[in-house]
Structure 1
Amino acid sequence: MGEETQMNATRGFGLVERARAIAPLIAGEADEIERTRRLTPAVVSALVENGLYRALLPQSLGGAEVPIEGFMQMLEEIAKADASTAWCLGQCCVCAMIAASLDRDTAHEIFNTQPGILAWGAIAHEARAVEGGYRVTARWDFASGSRQANWLGAHVRIASADGVSRKNADGSPEVRTILFPAESAVLHDVWQAIGLAGTGTDSYEVSDLFIPERFTAFRDVPSALREKGPLYRIGTGSTFSLGFAAVSLGVARATLDAAIALARGKHQSLAASAMRDNQSVQGLIGRTEGDLRAARAYLHATANAMWRDLSATGEFSAAHRSAVRLAATWTIHQSAKVVDAAYHMAGATAVFRSNPFERRFRDMHAIAQQIQARDTHYEDVGKAILASE
């Protein structure tokens, strides 16, 4: 391992240790996060003060720019304490990767003004090119972490001044990411969801907003990168996949641990002995533990193999993208199975809000409904496998 790689790894694991250190605070705030559907000020302050939002920000801007494994482990630790907090943190960390495609002064203005948090939602709508920038009137959805952010972004198709949609050389629509202060938008409180309730994944809207050219970028386009570190070659799409799969592992780990703790002391109704002495329970715990360890090992092995190749060659290939997509999708699905097994193992105990099961059950199934867990990803990977010889 080279000296620079060693330093990056140290930074990554430093963030993991900080995540573990603030996990008890986050766990203590989890009920309030659920009730208010927002991360609490105490949690946001702890994340900011410990530099966790800056995990994927370039070193040139004072960020950690950690290897992907450090980012994944950081999210896993936070998810054990609260899934909504981990989800918002992962979302905003990945959004910060856009800094690698902005000029330095613009990136500094966005990310080095407290709290330096950027959030965005899905690709939608169109912005019209005007002198010096773009104008847009639109509403976007799914902005996890927007309630903590001081900047918002959106991915929009670009139209010329006369309203004609601009195309790339391959005929696809030109899409840019636009960035603007959160105060320029109206946020709509729409996130009434069965799981990940505390993420505040609300909608946001702007009307005839002018976006200067320098506050736009081509997202996930290698030729547009100002930063040359391997992290930014991965792109936001695959980084979201790895990050949210790590969140699912943290939720699964915490839920299974809670079931194990319950089994050590609980007597099932009408049973003469404790659950810990029941062979069916013992076998279920053993198999479920194996499933979880296998999922974690597969995800991290895939991420590490990709990172080694990327660091050596500077290329994030189609094969890497396919491998990451498959591992992340399968890990989320496997984590959901672990949570289901733990939930059912707990019996009637699991349905009470005072016990550590029902929220994690809801959070896990909300995660499994997101784009990173779509079954169509298996079809895409299968198609690629069949096309190769």
Structure 2
Amino acid sequence: MSAAEMTGTIESSAEILADRVGRLVPMLADRAAEFDAADGFVADNYALLKEAGLIEAGVPQELGGMGAGVRDLAEMLRLLAHGCSSTALAFSMHTHQVAIPAWRWRHQNVAAVEPLLRRVAKDRIILLSSGGSDWIGGSGEAVKVEGGYRISGRKVFSSGSPAGDLLVTGAILRDGADDKVIHFAVPMKAPEVTVLDNWRALGMRGTGSNDIVIDGLFVPDAQVAFQRKAGEWHPVFQIIATIAFPLIYAAYLGVAEHARDIAIGIATQKPPSEDLLHCAGRMETALRAARLAHGWMIDTVERNAPSAESVNDVMTGRALLAEHAIRTVELAMELAGGAGFQRKHGLERLFRDIQGARFHPLQAGPQARYAGAMALGLPVSQIF
């Protein structure tokens, strides 16, 4: 609890989050290299997030949470990345899975999401996203049976999987040319659910982004949240894309900022030269571009009008942020010189971690085609 909370002074959610995260960052930083070296999931850090009350940060106050909006949640994730990239990225998956139903409850009066949000606030459960494996095309198989569906599939890149309580996912209901995707939540403790230990990656090694195997899980009809056409944008996915990616990419912005800070610390110990100034200036310019792109993404969310247009705006921002965040870290390595190549400074780890910004939807090809189709007034419903 912060000093202001103890004295009864009213603080905004942003101030409370900044205070709590600020006290966590040094602890996260102390163990980041250890998790990276061992390919170990950041389980201890999740315990800290729970103790700090960050699990329920995005739940509306009326439902027992802190009521933080997307801007404040993005700031939380950005700051967490200054301590541990993997913790920030993995936690962004839970954070956006809370922020989306919170937005729907607040702006669309969707009462069906209320029990989930109350449970996050009360029990501090961790929500998982099956991410890119369950994008617009869907994955896995749903077979209709009496009273519900029998689900099988393999969900890859499920960040935070060792800590998860519910996996928010979907499966394809085959029907020839008219395939559907049904969406539902999977209890991670169900006997039909197995988390593999197979996350071995270039960077973001502590995210626990293992594959999750679902083998014959029964999902009752009543637990299907919604159904959509496979391989085509649906209004709910326009909400998901608009809200999720400014949160996910807040973590990558934090990685770039952290790399910049380390590089500046090293560079200030060197004699100034024209080359040093030039490199530092290019790094600062790239980071400013990444920050501007992220600000654009947040502004898009705050229009509160998810649509094909908001998806285009967010994904354009995502592309620009990824490009300039990666460039920032490259230049940080160059500015640090040989010191950046040594593990003890942490830059080489951040160089590996930032590469993950390339791989979330919409990746470079689909994003460019989507933006081009929007500019030319052509359909985008099947570009993903």
Same fold (TM over 0.5): yes
TM superposition shift of 1:87: 0.6
1:381 to 1:13, Cα distance in 2 relative to 1, 3 A: farther
**2:347 is the alignment partner of 1:339:** no
Q: Which runs of 4+ in 1 moved over 4 A?
A: 98-102
Q: Which amino acid aligns with 1:292?
A: L
Paired residues in the alignment total 350
Q: Among 204, 209, 217, which residue is 1:209 paired with? A: 217
Q: Percent identity at matched positions?
A: 25
Instruction: Name the CA distance, whole Å, in 2 between partners of 1:366 and 1:264.
Output: 29
Instruction: Name the CA distance, whole Å, in 2 between partners of 1:12 and 1:176.
Output: 36
Q: Structure 1, residues 302-324: CA drift from partner, whole Å, max 9, x if none?
A: 422541x32xxxx3232222111
**2:116 is the alignment partner of 1:107:** yes
Instruction: Name the CA distance, whole Å, in 2 between partners of 1:119 and 1:93.
Output: 9
Alignment of 1:287-298 (within 5 A): 287-298=282-293
Instruction: Name the CA distance, whole Å, in 2 between partners of 1:382 and 1:13.
Output: 40
TM superposition shift of 1:363: 0.3
Mark the runs of 5 or more structure 2 residues left unpaired by the alignment: 1-10, 379-384
Tell me if structure 1 keeps the 8 A contact 2:86–2:204.
Answer: yes
Alignment of 1:189-208 (within 5 A): 189-208=197-216
Residues 255-264 or 233-242, more deviating? 233-242
Instruction: Name the CA distance, whole Å, in 2 between partners of 1:235 and 1:55.
Output: 19
Alignment of 1:1-389 (within 5 A): 10-96=12-98, 97-98=100-101, 103=112, 106-107=115-116, 111-112=120-121, 114-121=123-130, 122-123=133-134, 124-159=139-174, 164=175, 173-184=179-190, 185-218=193-226, 235-266=239-270, 274=271, 277-307=272-302, 309-310=303-304, 315-387=305-377
1:189 to 1:306, Cα distance in 2 relative to 1, 3 A: closer
TM superposition shift of 1:256: 1.0
SS state at 1:81 partner: coil
TM superposition shift of 1:57: 3.2
SS state at 2:306 partner: coil
Residues 196-205 or 277-286, more deviating? 277-286
SS state at 1:208 partner: strand
TM superposition shift of 1:98: 4.7
Tell me if structure 2 keeps the 8 A contact 1:23–1:81.
Answer: yes
1:373 to 1:72, Cα distance in 2 relative to 1, 3 A: farther
Instruction: Name the CA distance, whole Å, in 2 between partners of 1:182 and 1:30.
Output: 26
Mark the runs of 5 or more structure 1 residues left unpaired by the alignment: 1-8, 166-170, 226-231, 267-273
Instruction: Name the CA distance, whole Å, in 2 between partners of 1:333 and 1:53.
Output: 30
TM superposition shift of 1:192: 0.7
Instruction: Name the CA distance, whole Å, in 1 between partners of 2:311 and 2:178.
Output: 20
SS state at 2:172 partner: strand
Instruction: Name the CA distance, whole Å, in 2 between partners of 1:214 and 1:87.
Output: 32
Instruction: Name the CA distance, whole Å, in 1 between partners of 2:114 and 2:286.
Output: 47
